[in-house]
Every structure is written in C-alpha cells, then in structure tokens.
Structure 1
Amino acid sequence: MTALLASVRSDDEAFDAARAGAELIDLKEPNAGALGGLSIGDITHIARQLRARYPVKPISATIGDVPADAFDEIAARVIEVSDAGIDYVKVGVARGPAARRCLEQLATLPATVVPVLLCDGGMDDELVSHTASLGFAGVMFDTAGKDGNTLFDHVDVESLARWLRLTRARGAMGGIAGALGWAQLEQIRALAPDVAGFRTALCADGRRSRLDPQRVAQWASALHRPGGDVGAGVGAGAHGGANAARL
C-alpha cells in the first residue's frame, strides 16, 4: 500500500487531512516556493496541536528552499525544524556540484532527514545511488518547478522504479511527489512507492488555495485500493506496504 502524504500549511488543514485518511502530515508554505518552509513558531504550534489529537501520526516539515551550497544555513534549519517536534525533516537537493557534499553533511546531522531529490530536467543515477548509501530514513523524488509539468515529465517510470528499488534495498522508504494528479494515478500504482506526496491535487483551486478534505479522502481511497497488475510492468516489488508501515 502507498501511504498518502498531504502537505498542509495550518493546524486546520492538518486536522482535515488526518481525519480524511492521510498517513503522513507534511508542513510547508506553498506561497514560499516548491519546498517553502513555515516559521518555526508555526511548525511548533501545528505539531503540538496535531500530536494532541493524533499522537502517533507522523509529521514531516520542510526547511524551505535553500541552495545546496549553503551548508551552514541548511544544518541550522534542519536542527531547528527537528527540535520543533517533527519526525522527518525534508531537504530539497538538486543536481549540481554541491549536491554530493550537501547530502553527506545531511547524513551527519542529529535529525531524521529525508532528502528530496529535485528531478527537474532529470536526475543522475550516481547521485541517487550515493544518497541511498548514506543511511537516510527515506528518499523522496520531486520537482522544484510547479509549472504544470509533473515528475513523470522529467523522469521515466523505469528510472523511478529502479531508484525506488535501490532505496528500499538500503532499508529506506522511497517516495514520489511533483504535481501529481489523477492523470498519473496508474503510473503511481505501477511504481507502488512507499509514499506519494500531494498538495495541488488536494486543493480546491490550485496549490495556494485551501486543502479540501474530500479530495484527501478520494486520494487516500485511490492509493489504498489495489491496482491490479499494473505494478508488474516496472517490477516495483512488494516492499511498499512494509516500508510505509514504518511511518
């Protein structure tokens, strides 16, 4: 089973998403970029409110859109977000000369970091392999651009399937996101990632509008419903349910 990650910006949205069936609540600010970060005060408040009602519901949060070569700033933000009561700290990393060093530094921090590999224009097999070797709890594949193109416009299904297998072989959960919608449902089912993340598809009028709990419930149902034989074509394996259960 693929777990539903719902990106939210407030405690009201967090409660709606949790009640509607999202397994993982992800805190971010859509108005501040692809991985825009909320203030530490807001993260702390939402996490505290959500824990009071859903004590075992895992919570992730982004640190914001920070260049991969801003190592000190990234490290400081990761620690701040982690200390705000967050289970998983998401950090976007794009291809480039600073990516490898950034990932190596993230792996040394006293926080549960989930690198988000930004696949705009593609992604390097070697960088994915190196990321998987560093012992992270999980790896997400996403896009930075929110221009209507989806993750599948930048990376083919076969490559994503290979990277998810590699991530799982290292004992980590593997997830996908990136402007995913109903047109990509069969591809998502074929890959059977541990986690599929959404914002735009869960909102009434674009990613900056309010989250709609009915849409969350529809996506939770779609992801949890068996996808027949579609997964066989890319050899996604049967690890999705086991890894998602660790969330």
Structure 2
Amino acid sequence: MTGYDNNRGAQAIPGRRLKILFSVIAPEEVPDIIPASDVIDLKDPSKGPLGAPDTALVKLTKETLISSGHGHKTISASLGDALTRHGDYHKLGRQMAEAGADIVKIALSALAPEDALFALTLLRQSLPRRTALVAAVYADARMPGAVTPELLPGIAQSALAQGILLDTMVKDGRTIFDHIPAPLLASISRDAKNRGLFVALAGSLGIGDVEQAISAGADYVGFRSAIVKNGGRGSVGVDGAKAMSIRRKLVEFSAPPKDHAGVTALSL
C-alpha cells in the first residue's frame, strides 16, 4: 500500500500486478493463507457481506504475522454497512486501525450520495494517515437514490479515500461480473484510476475469474468462497492449497510479456 497526500487523495498503485486478498473469519485460518496472500482481510459474515470483525481478531492477526516473520503483510478490516450519515463508523475505524488494520472499508450502498460523502469524509478524518480507506458498494443491491458503482469513484475522491471496492451483497454463486457488464466495469475502473484511486473487486470470485479481473483493471481481487474447506463462507476453515492455486493463476496471467526468443520484453 502506498502513502497518500491528504490534499490530493490517494496515489495510484504503480504497475499492473494484481494483488490477492483472502478473507478470514477466525484466528486459526490466518496461518493457512499467509503464503498465498498479499492482504489478509478480516470480516464477520454473520453480520453481513462486509460485517465488522471483533478488534481482537485484528490484534491476533497482527501478532501472528509478526511472530511468523510476515509483519510486512497488509491487514484489511471491514466496518460493515453505513446506514445513516451519522454513525459510529469513525470510532470503529479508529479502533480497527489501532488494533493493526492497514486498510478499512465500509459499504455505502444504503446511502444517498451526499450522505455517503459526509460519512466517508468523517471516517477519513478520524483515521491515522497511514490507514487507507476504501469505499464499497454492492453491485447487486442498487437502491433508488443511493450510491451506485458509477458514482463511487467521485465520492471516494472527494472524501480523500484511497480506493474503491465493488462487491456483491448476495452470495449465490453469481460474481461481480454477472452484475456489471465488462465495458461498464472497465469504465468505472478507469475513472477511479484517473482520480488516483485503487480498485478492488470481490463477490463470489473463483480461480477462473483472475484473468477477467486483470482485464477489468483491478488492483486487488478478494476471495473467500473459493478457499473454504467445508460448508459455506461463514464456516471456519480454509484450504491453503486452494489459495496457492489462485496465487499461481495470478502469477501466470500477470507475468510480463516475452518476445519471440523467450526473453521478457521491456518497455523503454
């Protein structure tokens, strides 16, 4: 995660290597996904798609990363859904940051644009400068008069957030690509990047979605359903081998192009 200037908003992430975010819901899941992850994402699915985890999980995750020699790994934490412009989101965000979260994200799909901007701005102002803020919306939960995926980049930029997340509310096997046409998704991604924001995609994604996520212009892509061992995404237990398979797929599709002699081509 790069730094940012409060007067300008986020700095675009250099390069085109997609970064992988794996979501965990319990401390015992963390060691299994450390090798394959760029970001360890913490949430509580029982509270919603972006349900806020207990701050104790954030602290334990940070301790696990440090003790295993992976203290440089990024931790993200969900803050839930903003339902009103006035809420304790800013307090919760600060608590998550103090516990060790490098990124906090909040869903804005239930708010009108002006209320979303108010809530997001207040949250940004309450966070340490080192903590990145991500504004999220659900592609399958559009409400009349509420924030849409198309409006999200402008709101995020105005609030001095660092990135946007496009996710799905209903986890029924349909992905973000089933709810937003590819041309529109690419357009939203370009808009966000032109505003200095990074783009994250999630929503029932699997190993077969990596190439499409790269084509859509994502900087981060999130997984949970694809790596659980048994039961649904709310069941404890992840498969490190599945996570590593996704990582290998990412490396395969994001590797630099090679010339006809098999040598990596460089753009000069």
Whether TM exceeds 0.5 here: the answer is: yes
Residue 120 of structure 1 aligns with an amino acid whose one-letter code is D
What's the TM-score once normalised by structure 2's chain length?
0.77
Q: Does 1:114 align with 2:142?
A: no
- How far is 1:186 from its partner? 3.6
Q: Secondary structure at the match of 1:108?
A: helix
Q: Does 1:173 align with 2:198?
A: yes
Query: What corresponds to 1:236 in structure 2?
Result: none
- How far is 1:66 from its partner? 3.5
Query: What corresponds to 2:151 in structure 1?
Result: 126
Q: Does the CA contact (< 8 Å) of 1:114 and 1:140 recur in 2?
A: yes
* Cα deviation 1:181-232 (Å, max 9, x = unaligned): 245344223224110001101112331231110110011111121269xxxx
Matches within 5 A, 1:1-247: 1-19=17-35, 21-53=36-68, 54-63=70-79, 65-69=80-84, 71-97=86-112, 98-111=115-128, 112=131, 113-121=133-141, 123-205=148-230, 206-209=232-235, 210-226=237-253
Cα distance change of structure 1 residues 124 and 25 upon mapping to structure 2, 3 Å threshold: closer
Q: Partners in 2 of 1:86 and 1:76 — Cα distance?
A: 14
Q: Partners in 1 of 2:222 and 2:101 — Cα distance?
A: 17
Q: Does the CA contact (< 8 Å) of 1:95 and 1:124 recur in 2?
A: no
Q: Partners in 1 of 2:100 and 2:77 — Cα distance?
A: 10
Q: Secondary structure at the match of 1:145?
A: coil
* Cα deviation 1:52-99 (Å, max 9, x = unaligned): 221111111112x33331533111111111111111111111153232
Q: Partners in 2 of 1:132 and 1:67 — Cα distance?
A: 18
- How far is 1:36 from its partner? 1.8
Cα distance change of structure 1 residues 191 and 70 upon mapping to structure 2, 3 Å threshold: same
Q: Does the CA contact (< 8 Å) of 1:117 and 1:141 recur in 2?
A: yes
Query: What corresponds to 2:258 in structure 1?
Result: none
- How far is 1:18 from its partner? 0.9
Query: What corresponds to 1:241 in structure 2?
Result: none
Cα distance change of structure 1 residues 68 and 105 upon mapping to structure 2, 3 Å threshold: farther
Gaps of 5+ in 1: 229-247
- How far is 1:4 from its partner? 0.6
Using the TM superposition, name which of 27-36 and 93-102 deviates more: 93-102
Percent sequence identity over aligned pairs = 27
- How far is 1:121 from its partner? 4.1
Q: Does the CA contact (< 8 Å) of 1:115 and 1:138 recur in 2?
A: yes
Q: Partners in 2 of 1:219 and 1:2 — Cα distance?
A: 12
What's the TM-score once normalised by structure 1's chain length?
0.83
Residue 134 of structure 1 aligns with an amino acid whose one-letter code is A
Structure 1 segments (4+ residues) deviating >4 Å: none
- How far is 1:177 from its partner? 0.4
Q: Does the CA contact (< 8 Å) of 1:8 and 1:14 recur in 2?
A: yes
Q: Does the CA contact (< 8 Å) of 2:137 and 2:149 recur in 1?
A: no
Residue 207 of structure 1 aligns with an amino acid whose one-letter code is R
Cα distance change of structure 1 residues 182 and 58 upon mapping to structure 2, 3 Å threshold: closer
Q: Does the CA contact (< 8 Å) of 1:93 and 1:115 recur in 2?
A: yes
